[in-house]
Chain A
Amino acid sequence: MANIYVANRQIVKPGDLLAEGDDVIAGSYTYKVGSKVYGTVIGLAEVKENAVSIIPLEGVVVPREGDLVIGVVVGVGVTNWFIDIRAPYKAVLNASEAVEQFNPLTDDIRKYFDVGDYILAKVLIFDRSRGPVLTTKAKGLGKIVEGVVIDVKPSRVPRIVGKRKTMLEVLTSLTNCSITAAVNGRIWIKCPNSLLEDIVVRAIRKIESEAHIPGLTDRIRKFIEDEKRRVGIQ
């Protein structure tokens, strides 16, 4: 017998009793004691039949293997770079994962990436015993040379992307900007002009602060259309 005490998208807090019953499945950010399921973070409840999980509203995101991240180079070694990816762990990017045929004797590693550079990378290896190892060997990965990168709360990235990328679709189609949202809470925005760039940044800030309120996609669509009209772009 499953008793679920929360509604879908209801705000829950740590220690809230979410559900009770032996067949209830405790999803992410919840835990089970006996037959009772409790929440562990502040977030929105997600109920699917007899499974309960929480979409967190705060907190750090620990990236997983295969995730796209935007990092900042914070250190340079002989054959590797140290990258800050806004996680509790510092990431490593080996030269062999960024440059073909890198030879530290003849080549200067700083020629490729230097301290302060933003890079788009993928998490190659990450387990609990060592820090994440990145790679830039794929299409579109590497140094970010144009546009802007803004920091948002990592917990808001799923909302900025939206279900089946609906929100991202609204942002890109209305502004002609290209937007890359990395799971670690960094958003790379490339726009045709600075007026559109400003609108996109403000729209993302709006998503960030209103992530828990339903009907967000429509509000963002209206916001962008209103702003475009106000600054006279059609």
Chain B
Amino acid sequence: MSSRPTLIKENGLRHDHRRPDELRPIKMEVGVLKNADGSALVEFGNTKVIAAVYGPREPPAKYMLSPEKAIVRCRYHMAPFSTIERKSPAPSRREIELSKVIREALESAIFTELFPRSAVDIFIEVLQADGGTRTAGLTAASLALADAGVPMRDLIAAVAVGKVDGVIVLDIDEVEDEYGEADMPVGMMPSLNQVVLLQLNGVMTREEFDAAMDLAMKGISEIYRLQKEALSKKYMLYTEE
């Protein structure tokens, strides 16, 4: 792309014909990997993320252990084929940072004190990136944890909001992220109304921030509903037999 695309068209719709407060089509599936204790596949439009959870289990090295709680290890990784230009498979600065913020968000939800001296391993692999991969990854990881039966306070639902051409929009994609003015991923435990992840890249006024937060909560409640539906679906299959 050589020139800057029009992000908000004259009729008020976005470059992909969405309304400013509209999510991309979302798909979720639980229990997609047999070897993992829990797994989930989440798609937000063209963004496609798979998450696998192992544990609580004995970690490979004893020095990492905590005598009072389970340690949570998290790896967020983008597959080399997930972007248009090949991404080096080595963990980048950005991936290491995202692994940390996602881990901290999940740690606040998991009852780690129930499994002292053990480890919970979470792997998030981005299969296709089109903006909002960290929020899709967090959403998938919390589903995978629920699928693994790890006790937690609530599922975590996450979505990115942003400001493009002066308009606050929900669930921004790659193009909007690149050419927009601000990008704000938000992760929440909706039942408890607690925020577990909040980052802001760009500039927003106080009023815009409030509007963006409201919009994020609206998107999150929809994502949360889909998460619960995806978890039920795994057990519905057997019921229908």
Q: How far is the CB of A180 from chain B (nearest CB, A)?
A: 24
Contact, CB under 8 Å: B231 / A42: yes
Q: Which residues of B contact A40 (CB under 8 A)?
A: 111, 151-153
Kindly identify, within residues 165 to 220 of chain B, every residue whose CB is under 8 Å from any CB belonging to chain A: 189-192
What is the bound-complex CA distance between A129 and B116, given in angstroms?
8
Shortest Cβ distance from B232 into A: residue: A11
Query: Given known contacts A41-B149, A56-B149, A57-B235, is B192 in contact with A15 (CB within 8 Å)?
Result: yes
Q: List 10 A-B contacts (CB under 8 A).
A: A11-B235, A31-B111, A42-B149, A57-B149, A58-B37, A58-B148, A88-B70, A89-B118, A155-B149, A212-B239
What is the bound-complex CA distance between A2 and B149, given in angstroms?
27
Contact, CB under 8 Å: B191 / A15: yes
Q: Which residues of A contact B191 (CB under 8 A)?
A: 15-17, 38
What is the bound-complex CA distance between A70 and B58, given in angstroms?
18
- Residue A48, interface by CB 8 Å: no
Q: Which residues of B contact A11 (CB under 8 A)?
A: 232, 235
Query: Given known contacts A14-B154, A58-B38, A89-B118, is B148 in contact with A209 (CB within 8 Å)?
Result: no
Q: Which residues of A contact B189 (CB under 8 A)?
A: 15
Q: Which residues of A contact B231 (CB under 8 A)?
A: 13, 42
Q: How far is the CB of A6 from chain B (nearest CB, A)?
A: 13
Kindly identify, within residues 12 to 31 of chain A, every residue whose CB is under 8 Å from any CB belonging to chain B: 13-17, 29, 31
- Residue B67, interface by CB 8 Å: yes
The B interface, classified by DSSP as helix, strand, loop or mixed, is loop
Q: How far is the CB of A35 from chain B (nearest CB, A)?
A: 14
Q: Interface residue count for A (Cβ, 8 Å)?
A: 29
Q: Interface residue count for B (Cβ, 8 Å)?
A: 35
The A interface, classified by DSSP as helix, strand, loop or mixed, is loop
Chain A positions within 8 Å of B, measured between CB atoms, are 11, 13-17, 29, 31, 33, 38, 40-42, 56-60, 62, 88-90, 128-129, 155, 209-210, 212-213
- Residue B17, interface by CB 8 Å: no
What is the bound-complex CA distance between A13 and B225, given in angstroms?
11
Q: Which residues of A contact B118 (CB under 8 A)?
A: 88-89
- Residue B75, interface by CB 8 Å: no
Q: Which residues of B contact A17 (CB under 8 A)?
A: 191
Q: Which residues of B contact A31 (CB under 8 A)?
A: 111, 153
Shortest Cβ distance from A128 into B: residue: B116
Q: How far is the CB of B55 from chain A (nearest CB, A)?
A: 7
What is the bound-complex CA distance between A88 and B115, given in angstroms?
8
Interface flags, B134-178, vs A, CB<8A=1, else 0: 000000000000111111111100000000000000000000000
Q: Which residues of A contact B116 (CB under 8 A)?
A: 128-129
Kindly identify, within residues 1 to 56 of chain B, every residue whose CB is under 8 Å from any CB belonging to chain A: 37-38, 55-56
Q: How far is the CB of B149 from chain A (nearest CB, A)?
A: 2
